[in-house]
Structures are given as structure tokens and as C-alpha cells.
Amino acid sequence: MNNRPDYRDICEAAMRLKDKSIYTAVLSSPKINEQVGSEVFFKCENQQHIGAFKFRGAYNAIIQLSDLQKKNGVIAFSSGNHAQAVARVCQMLDIKATIIMPNNAPDIKRRGTEILGANIIEYDPLTENRETIAQQVNADNRLSLIPPFNHPHIIAGQGTAAYELASDVKNLDQLLAPCGGGGLLSGTALAVKGLQENCAVIGVEPEMADDATQSFQQGKIITIDYPDTIADGTQTLSLGEITFGLIQSHVDDMVTVSEAMIKEAVRLLFYNLKQVVEPSGALGLAALLERKTPPANRVGVIISGGNIDGKMMQKILAEPSIT
Ligand SMILES: *Cc1c(COP(=O)(O)O)cnc(C)c1O
């Protein structure tokens, strides 16, 4: 495979993931449909292993390492769902996982990674450099780095969620996916354009973390300062070279949503769809509620994950509805 994956790579990833990942449900809510004026099909990756789609990319990347690489082990940097995904895949395949994590990582995500048997190395993001830590930990370079988004095998794996959705639900007019580093969105676009050429693919970001939207509009990778958004899965500072290229050529548009509407979407998904969804996973519905996308009859939405602290959920549910 060259650096830039294509539709065939998504199909191959789907075959590798068969019976390994959970074939997640597609759910609808008549109330939400009425409120947004479209028929909406939610692909529930909050029900995936480790509670997010990232299992897919991690599995597709790690299973393709050589026997020697598997024997030596893998390393990843992440405070979030990518850490848990790498840890879970390594647990399944009996591979040693080392995760480098900032000491301010959400508790639920840190504990989730620990329980899966990964070796966690903490650092202070304010005073310590992540790369220096990694060099110390991996001085002999034997551990294989599993990047969170900018890698063809990761992108192809992430695309399999939309591959399942667009295989099961025909005649979609539009498909919405959240965007952080762009692994999910670029894989989604490859899958959807391969299966339903006429379906528009739209990426959604928090207003406060709009680097990909800026990059899409300006035709070059834009980097932002650390964004203070509730959607911690999309706090990435910039797209990668590969994800940016794919988004430029296969994604139809990028839109942004407010923090208030992200929280409203979390509430509606809880009360109407009966799903526990983390803020990043609610971006697609937030875009529909804010009328940020063109009107469409049949809309697919990727609910990307459900790893939200109980306290945070409580706080969001306690706030009044704004729609
Ligand atoms: C990682 C993540 C995203 C963003 O995915 P990218 O591939 O980085 O764009 C969105 N939602 C959740 C729940 C995530 O864990």
C-alpha cells in the first residue's frame, strides 16, 4: 500500500475486522427526525469495543505488523480513545503495549487503558516534552509506533464504520462525521464515495477547534492553539498530510458547531435515542440542530464514541434544553 489509502483498502480492512470489531447498530428516533426535518440514521460506534470507532483503525494497523514487530511490542501517544483502542487490540493479540499519556487525561480514559493491561507512562504536558519521553522509553527503537490518525492502515480501519452504514442504509443524501485529526473523516469519505457516489460527506468540528475547516477552505494545513472545547476527541491541533489530502479530494464540505449545541445533542441522544454519547460523538447531530448543512432527506451520522465521565454527563443533563 502506498501512503494514500483508497476504497479497496477500506474493503480489505472490513474483511480483516469481520468478527473482530462489533458490527454496531444503526438507530433512528422519530422525535429527532421530526425536530431536524430529515430521516437520520445513527451509526452507534459508542457501542464499539472500548466505546469508540478507534478500535477499528488500531486493529487494522496492528494486525498488519510483522511477527517480529508484534513480538517487540507497540507504543502510542494518547490521552484518549486511541490509547484504549491500542491497549485492547494488544490484549486480544497478546502484544506488549506502552502508552504515553499526559497526567491530565480524563479519568475514565486512563483507567480504561490501565485495565486493559497496557504499560502507562505519564508525563506533565506543561513541563515535559512528549517526544523526549518517547525517546527515553523507546531508546532502541524496537517498539512500533501506532499513530492516532495519519497512517493509511488507521484511516482504512476507521472507514469501516461508514462502510457498514452505507452498505446497510441505501440512498443516503448526506453523511456527517466528526473531525479531529481527520482519520475518521477521510476513511469515511473513501468508504461512502465507493458505495454511494452521490452521497455528500460533510465533516463537523467544534467552532473552538476549527483547524480542519480552515484548512479545507484555505487549501493548506492550518494549525491552531490548544482548543478549550468540551469535545475532547477533536482537540487535535492540525490534520496530518495524508488525512488533509484525502479530505481535500473526497469531502464535500466542513462545518462547525457551538459548544451549547454539542451539549444539546448529547442530551437529545440520551433522552430520545437512549444512547450515552461523549461530546465528540454528538457533533453530527449538533450540525443538524444548528442547520449548518444543506437540507437533505436521508442523513447518516457517525456517533463516534461514548466515553464520557459520569460527572460530565450529569452536568450536561442538568442544563436546560435549548431547542
Ligand atoms: C478520535 C475521535 C474523534 C476524531 O477522530 P479523528 O480520526 O482524529 O478525526 C471523534 N470522536 C471520538 C469519540 C474520537 O475518539
Which of 277, 304, 309 has the most ligand 1 atoms within 8 A of CB, as the residue to mutate?
A: 304
Report how many helices (DSSP H) and strands (DSSP E) the chain contains, helices first: 14, 10
In the reported structure, the alpha carbon of residue 179 is separated from the centroid of ligand 1 by a whole-number distance in angstroms of 6
In the reported structure, the alpha carbon of residue 165 is separated from the centroid of ligand 1 by a whole-number distance in angstroms of 17
Question: Residue 241 — pLDDT band, cuts 50, 70, 90?
Answer: very high
DSSP labels for 243-266? HHHHHHHH--EEEEE-HHHHHHHH
Give start and end residues of each alpha helix (H) in the chain. 7-17, 30-36, 54-62, 67-72, 81-93, 107-115, 130-137, 152-168, 183-195, 211-218, 241-250, 259-271, 283-289, 310-318
* pLDDT (tens digit per residue) in 272-305: 999 999 999 999 999 999 999 999 999 999 999 9
Q: Map out the domains of the chain as residue ranges.
A: 7-52+152-318, 55-145
In the reported structure, the alpha carbon of residue 95 is separated from the centroid of ligand 1 by a whole-number distance in angstroms of 24
Q: Which residues line ligand 1 (CB under 6 A)?
A: 52, 54, 80-81, 149, 158, 178-185, 233-234, 236, 278, 280-281, 304-305
Question: Which residue lies with its CA nearest to atom 1 of ligand 1?
Answer: 233
Tell me: pLDDT of 2 over 70.
no
Question: Residue 78 has what pLDDT?
Answer: 86
* pLDDT (tens digit per residue) in 213-227: 999 999 999 999 989
Question: Residue 12 has what pLDDT?
Answer: 98
Question: Residue 243 has what pLDDT?
Answer: 98
Question: Residue 79 has what pLDDT?
Answer: 74
Q: Which atom of ligand 1 is nearest to the CA of 57?
A: 7
Domains 7-52+152-318 and 55-145 share a fold: yes
* pLDDT (tens digit per residue) in 21-63: 999 999 999 999 999 999 999 999 999 999 999 999 999 999 9
In the reported structure, the alpha carbon of residue 232 is separated from the centroid of ligand 1 by a whole-number distance in angstroms of 9
Which of 53, 230, 309 has the most ligand 1 atoms within 8 A of CB, as the residue to mutate?
A: 53
**Residue entry with cell 501517544:** 77
Q: Which atom of ligand 1 is nearest to the CA of 45?
A: 13
* pLDDT (tens digit per residue) in 120-163: 999 988 888 887 888 888 989 899 999 999 999 999 999 999 99
**pTM (2 d.p.):** 0.96
Which of 49, 77, 184 has the most ligand 1 atoms within 8 A of CB, as the residue to mutate?
A: 184
CATH number of the domain at 7-52+152-318, please?
Answer: 3.40.50.1100
Pick the CATH number of 55-145 from 3.10.20.30, 3.30.465.10, 3.40.50.720, 3.40.50.1100: 3.40.50.1100
In the reported structure, the alpha carbon of residue 8 is separated from the centroid of ligand 1 by a whole-number distance in angstroms of 22
Question: Residue 91 has what pLDDT?
Answer: 97
Tell me: pLDDT of 259 over 70.
yes
Instruction: Name the DSSP letter for residue 52.
Output: B
- Measure the CA–CA gap between 5 and 294, rounded to whole angstroms: 29
Q: Which atom of ligand 1 is nearest to the CA of 278?
A: 13
Instruction: Name the DSSP letter for residue 305.
Output: B
- Dihedral over Cα of 58, 59, 60, 63: its sign: positive
Question: Which residue lies with its CA nearest to atom 13 of ligand 1?
Answer: 305
CA-CA distances (angstroms) from residue 73 to 28, 81, 141, 297? 41, 19, 11, 47
Question: Residue 266 has what pLDDT?
Answer: 98
Pairing of strands 298-303, 144-145: unpaired
Neighbours of 67 (CB within 10 A): 7
- Contact between residue 13 and residue 60 where contact means Cβ atoms under 8 Å apart: yes
Nearest to 268 by CA among 202, 218, 316, 307: 316
